[in-house]
């Protein structure tokens, strides 16, 4: 099976007496409160989904990631994974052990602080989120997050006794250890992952089935962490995935699991992050299509594919499955790309999650060239009532 990124699947979770002892110790420590993105990052670090990270990044790793898309030791890593102070809170001193908690006071574990530094928010925005089309500005969703943070980042190794609890999708919150065990049980040696924050429309279905032709199995791995307010909520998306997979996919070669990370809308850099983390889940191939993890017009159409060419052989074991912009071809009556169809512009119907959302918002039913009817029915019903969280 594919090696975890960095060589070892990290586990920062303690259990039993060790967990009880840690929580007792943490109750008497100074604390930091994590926001929802930091909580999802803590979960992914703890279970090994962000291997080789053993905690939130320190200043040296952070700067190297911003400048070179690598950690200080040279390990490929495209975006910072950091813990920030909030509001006017004073940063802790290096050498402090902190309790890590959520807003209601629930303690997850502790962090041994090894690095504290003042953040440069504009620098992070510029280096991490500018694309080949546009320089990142304050309209980029990343700024909407970065500007809410305090003045300092705090890095160090974490030890966790209690993982975050959720009301949704718990049966599908599979850790890398669990997905790897499931792949082994199924006898899958090659596995493709499909990253999505949208319902699966016909173009997505085409890409995933092309991937199934090349691998032993497919993991549909929708992101269920924080997304933009206008993205379709995860509970609605999960209904769509179930309806589609149960009717249109071979279930003995398909799995559904959720991916707890928050969206950064980092385009090319986030595509690499998605790949690195999927390698930790045991994935051997990841689908990278048009404008992966993109937003607006910041990134070039295929920047998220070409960025992988900046890494050396051996930096990443996971392979990319790179696809052209797919479309419904009226000439052939099915999905295609320019590689497989001779159709002219008048015979191509291009699909996108953005277009589907626009149609639904206007009370229009997406045509069958856009969406399977079972999925369209779920989305129409969802848009006809108040949005859910």
Other beta carbons within 10 Å of 73:
11
Q: Copy the structure tokens of residue 140.
A: 């980029």
Long-range contacts of 115-118 (CB under 8 A, 24+ apart): 115/57, 115/58, 115/59, 115/60, 115/153, 115/154, 115/155, 115/156, 116/59, 116/91, 116/92, 116/152, 116/153, 116/154, 116/155, 117/59, 117/62, 117/152, 117/153, 118/151, 118/152
The DSSP 8-state label assigned to residue 94 in this structure reads T
Which is catalytic among the residues 37, 198, 202, 269? 198
Which is catalytic among the residues 37, 197, 264, 357? 197
Starting at the edge strand that comes first in sequence, how are the strands of the sheet with 319-322 ordered?
Answer: 254-256, 217-222, 191-196, 285-288, 319-322
**In a 3-state reduction of DSSP, which class is residue 25?**
helix
Taking the C-alpha atoms of residue 113 and residue 53, their distance in angstroms, rounded to an integer, is 14
Distances (CA, A) of 313 to 2, 76, 181, 318: 15, 11, 27, 11
Residue 357 falls in the annotated catalytic set = no
CA 162 to the chain's CA centroid: 22
CA 161 to the chain's CA centroid: 24
Long-range contacts of 69-74 (CB under 8 A, 24+ apart): 69/269, 69/272, 69/310, 69/311
The pairing of beta strand 319-322 with beta strand 327-329: unpaired
Q: Cα angle vertex 233, ends 229, 236, to 5°?
A: 155
Residue 198 falls in the annotated catalytic set = yes
Which residues are annotated as catalytic? 197-198
């Amino acid at each position: 099976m594919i090696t975890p990124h960095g060589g070892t699947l990290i586990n920062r979770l303690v259990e039993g007496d060790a967990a009880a002892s840690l929580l007792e110790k943490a109750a008497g420590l100074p604390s930091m409160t994590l926001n929802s993105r930091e909580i999802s990052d803590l979960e992914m670090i703890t279970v090994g989904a962000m291997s080789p990270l053993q905690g939130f990044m320190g200043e040296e790793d952070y700067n190297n990631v911003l400048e070179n898309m690598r950690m200080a030791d040279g390990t490929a890593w495209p975006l910072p994974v950091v813990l920030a102070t909030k509001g006017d809170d004073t940063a802790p001193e290096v050498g402090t052990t902190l309790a890590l908690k959520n807003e209601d006071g629930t303690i997850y574990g502790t962090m041994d602080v090894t690095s504290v530094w003042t953040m440069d928010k504009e620098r992070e925005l510029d280096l991490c989120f500018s694309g080949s089309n546009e320089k990142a500005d304050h309209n980029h969703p990343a700024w909407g997050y970065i500007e809410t943070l305090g003045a300092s980042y705090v890095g160090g190794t974490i030890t966790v006794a209690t993982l975050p609890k959720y009301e949704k999708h718990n049966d599908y919150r599979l850790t890398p250890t669990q997905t790897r065990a499931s792949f082994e049980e199924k006898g899958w040696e090659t596995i493709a992952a499909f990253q999505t924050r949208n319902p699966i429309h016909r173009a997505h279905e085409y890409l995933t089935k092309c991937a199934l032709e090349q691998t032993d199995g497919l993991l549909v791995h929708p992101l269920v962490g924080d997304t933009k307010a206008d993205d379709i909520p995860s509970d609605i998306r999960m209904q769509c995935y179930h309806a589609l997979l149960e009717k249109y996919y071979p279930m003995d070669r398909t799995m559904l699991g959720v991916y707890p990370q928050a969206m950064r809308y980092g385009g090319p850099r986030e595509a690499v992050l998605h790949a690195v983390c999927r390698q930790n889940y045991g994935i051997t191939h990841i689908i990278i299509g048009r404008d992966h993890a993109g937003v607006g017009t910041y990134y070039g159409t295929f920047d998220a594919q070409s960025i992988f060419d900046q890494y050396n052989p051996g930096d990443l074991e996971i392979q990319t499955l790179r696809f052209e912009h797919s479309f419904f071809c009226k000439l052939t009556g099915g999905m295609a790309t320019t590689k497989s169809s001779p159709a002219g512009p008048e015979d191509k119907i291009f699909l996108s999650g953005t277009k589907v959302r626009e149609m639904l918002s206007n009370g229009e039913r997406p045509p069958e060239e856009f969406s399977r009817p079972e999925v369209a029915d779920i989305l129409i019903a969802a848009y006809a009532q108040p949005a859910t969280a």
